[in-house]
Amino acid sequence: MNRYLLAGCAAAALAMGAGAANAQAKFEVKLSGDAYFEGGYVDQDRDAGLRSTEFRNRFRLNVQPTAKADNGLEYGARARIRAQSGAGTLDADRGYVFVQGGFGQVRLGVTNSFNDDSYVSRPIDYEFLGVYDAFMSYITGTSNTAQTTTAAVGRADVGGAIQGTNTLTAHSITANANATKIVYYSPVFSGFQAGLSYTPRNDSNLTDVNRTKAGTSAVIGAANSATGIAYGNWSQAFQDIVEIGANYKNTFGGVGVAVGGGYFWGKAETTSGVAYKDLNAFQLGAKVSYAGFTLGGGYLSHGESGQAKTANLFRDKNEVWNVGLQYATGPIMVGAAYTNGKDPGSLSVRGKRELETWGLGASYTVAPGLAVGAEYTYFDANSDLTTATTNYDDKGSVILLRSVLTF
């Protein structure tokens, strides 16, 4: 029923705008994007066989043809092209059609969910391009390095499970991933906005057509970042995902206020005869700002979403909370933050994983569209797999220096 309701809303919005939009409009093609170069230094306990320093960079280009009809209806499309793969290839992680007007905005295709696009959490403006957990790539490795295939060496037990690399640091729920979906944004009324979306399945996007009801081993929980062994007791694959959300942002006498929240639900796939817990997750957040200072925090919970229903497993909640303070004056921004994430880890043993991070950062705008910044993060990761003979716990520091271009 949910899918028909959302599809009907999208069709109605399109029909409302199309009534008198019969004039031939010229499309304006807008280009925008960003690029960064980053250098990192890592000092961690479990670093055998690893370098202390590494560089990385990324370039993204947004292509957006847009037109406006005589009746005021705006419509167009957007694609985001990325040069970020270690294999030296290009990909596109966004591609959708949109229409907007007095009714709000409808997006059809591969795009962020409403909540992931508008969530409220701790302030992150001082961190480059909103990437609030950049340090994680330096302690878990990336897909094109030997670091990810060397079991129990230089990789804290912090990834895998319900949300991949940022399971224990997430500010927003991304269970519907970069999958093909329908998203609706309401107009903003006195600072208040609401939205909803529907995603048929979170492992299908762009021209892919996947009508199967059961899952495959390829979509079962990502590998444990400390051991390299797949999390077979977890699934990240969900179908018929629905989200609802709302936020309120306003200013009163120089005091800025922002609050927001969202709720997600969906059906877990049964894979190789194993049934998993359905998706039931929510997020909440709030921020207050005054005279350049911004204080805020957020909380999200996946509950037991995606955990196997098999008997004799140790299921528990996955939850993350964060708090931070930021100050901005002229071209300078500085900030500090704390994040705490917990989940049951492997499920095969009793206990929880926990990741605590403390961070400091600063950025400086050199010229319009050009900034430089630095971040320091201390992390302390405790694994439920640690025993008297095998230690998967880890702690250490990550320092990042970067330059960022936006256009």
- Angstrom distance (rounded) from CA 135 to CA 223: 19
Instruction: Report pLDDT for 5.
Output: 52
Whether the predicted pLDDT of 25 surpasses 90: no
pLDDT in tens, 220-256: 555 555 555 555 688 888 999 999 999 999 999 999 9
Q: Is the model's pTM score more than 0.85?
A: yes
- Angstrom distance (rounded) from CA 153 to CA 48: 6
pLDDT in tens, 379-393: 999 998 888 888 889
CA angle 253, 254, 256 (to 5 degrees): 105
DSSP string, 301-362: EEETTTBB--TT-----EEEEEEEEEEEETTEEEEEEEEEEEE-TTSSSSS-EEEEEEEEEE
The better pLDDT of the pair 24, 194 is held by 194
pLDDT in tens, 251-293: 999 999 999 999 999 999 887 788 899 999 999 999 999 999 9
Q: What's the mean pLDDT when you consider all of the chain? A: 87
User: In DSSP terms, which residues pair with 279 in a beta bridge?
Assistant: 266
pLDDT in tens, 331-348: 999 999 999 999 998 888
Q: What is the DSSP letter of 72?
A: S
Least confident of 140-154, 186-200, 310-324, 383-397: 140-154
pLDDT in tens, 102-154: 999 999 999 999 999 999 999 999 998 888 889 998 987 654 443 443 444 44
pLDDT in tens, 351-380: 899 999 999 999 999 999 999 999 999 999
Instruction: Report pLDDT for 4.
Output: 53
pLDDT in tens, 43-86: 999 888 889 999 999 999 999 999 999 999 999 999 999 998 77
